[in-house]
């Protein structure tokens, strides 16, 4: 995916994960949350023998949202 697709993907995923976890940090942090969540989700899925983010599709959204939720949970635990 190109950089603009990663930004759009990160914004959507970060926004959905923020809604699910009950946080609201703003657009820029939602984008960062979505992109980092996609990386974390892909890394976690590799332990289960599955692929990570493969493009702009439903499976990738689920993997990225899963990773973003993990990241939000870790940040909440640290705070």
Per-residue pLDDT at 30: 85
Per-residue pLDDT at 55: 77
Domain count of the fold of the chain: 1
Per-residue pLDDT at 1: 61
List the one residue out of 18, 2, 12 whose CA is nearest residue 71.
18
pLDDT digits (tens, 9 = 90+) for 11-66: 888 889 989 888 877 888 888 888 898 889 889 988 888 887 777 888 888 888 99
Range of the domain at 72: 3-78
d(CA 52, CA 29): 22
Handedness of CA 71, 72, 77, 78 (dihedral sign): positive
CB 25 within 8 A of CB 33: yes
Locus of tokens 């969540």: 37
Distant-in-sequence, close-in-space partners of 45: CB < 8 Å, separation ≥ 6: 51, 52, 63, 66
pLDDT band at 77 (very low <50, low <70, confident <90, very high): very high
């Amino acid at each position: 995916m190109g950089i603009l697709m990663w930004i759009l993907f990160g914004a959507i995923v970060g926004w959905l994960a923020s809604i699910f976890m009950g946080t609201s940090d703003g657009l820029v942090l939602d984008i960062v949350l979505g992109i980092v969540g996609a990386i974390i989700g892909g890394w976690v899925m590799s332990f289960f023998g599955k692929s990570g983010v493969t493009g702009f599709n439903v499976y990738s959204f689920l993997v990225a949202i899963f990773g973003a939720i993990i990241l939000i949970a870790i940040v909440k635990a640290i705070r």
